[in-house]
């Protein structure tokens, strides 16, 4: 039994949206035992791809000539909150004594 026509049949029957994982699961439901990596390889060889969900649409194109580095160098934009000072009484209460 040729596997490539079976893969294409399942892919076509599901409106060409199934990826390798779903094609593999459908073939298993139909009783066709095959490794998932084999389905992936054969789909790639045939040029069959599933539909990708959640692809981000980029609507803004950044201006490469804008001086972004000047904004980062101004003192009001620097990240200065990396250190923290504690009052002395809070430090003295946290000591462990034997």
CA distance linking residue 83 with residue 67, whole number of Å: 29
Residue 89, domain member (yes or no): no
Total number of domains in the chain = 1
Is residue 75 one of the residues assigned to a domain?
A: no
**pLDDT average, residue stretch 5-17:** 96
C-beta neighbour count of 29 within 10 angstroms: 9
| Neighbour count for residue 85 (Cβ, 10 Å) | 5
Please report whether residue 36 resides in a domain: yes
Q: Would you place residue 53 in the very low, low, confident or very high pLDDT band (cuts 50, 70, 90)? A: confident
| pTM of full prediction above 0.85 | no
What's the rounded Cα separation, in Å, for the pair 13 and 23? Answer: 10
The C-alpha atoms of residue 39 and residue 27 are separated, in whole angstroms, by: 10
Q: Is the confidence at residue 67, as pLDDT, over 90? A: no
18 within some domain: yes
21 within domain boundaries: yes
pLDDT band at 42 (very low <50, low <70, confident <90, very high): very high
Range of the domain at 24: 3-46
What's the confidence (pLDDT) of residue 60?
Answer: 75
């Amino acid at each position: 039994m040729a596997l490539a026509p079976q893969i294409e049949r399942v892919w076509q029957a599901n409106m060409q949206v199934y990826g390798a994982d779903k094609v593999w699961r459908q073939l298993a439901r139909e009783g066709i035992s095959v490794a998932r990596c084999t389905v992936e390889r054969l789909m790639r060889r045939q040029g069959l791809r599933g539909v990708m969900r959640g692809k981000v649409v980029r609507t803004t194109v950044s201006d490469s000539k804008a001086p972004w580095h000047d904004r980062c160098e101004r003192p009001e934009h620097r990240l200065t909150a990396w250190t923290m000072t504690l009052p002395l009484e809070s430090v003295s209460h946290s000591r462990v004594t034997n």
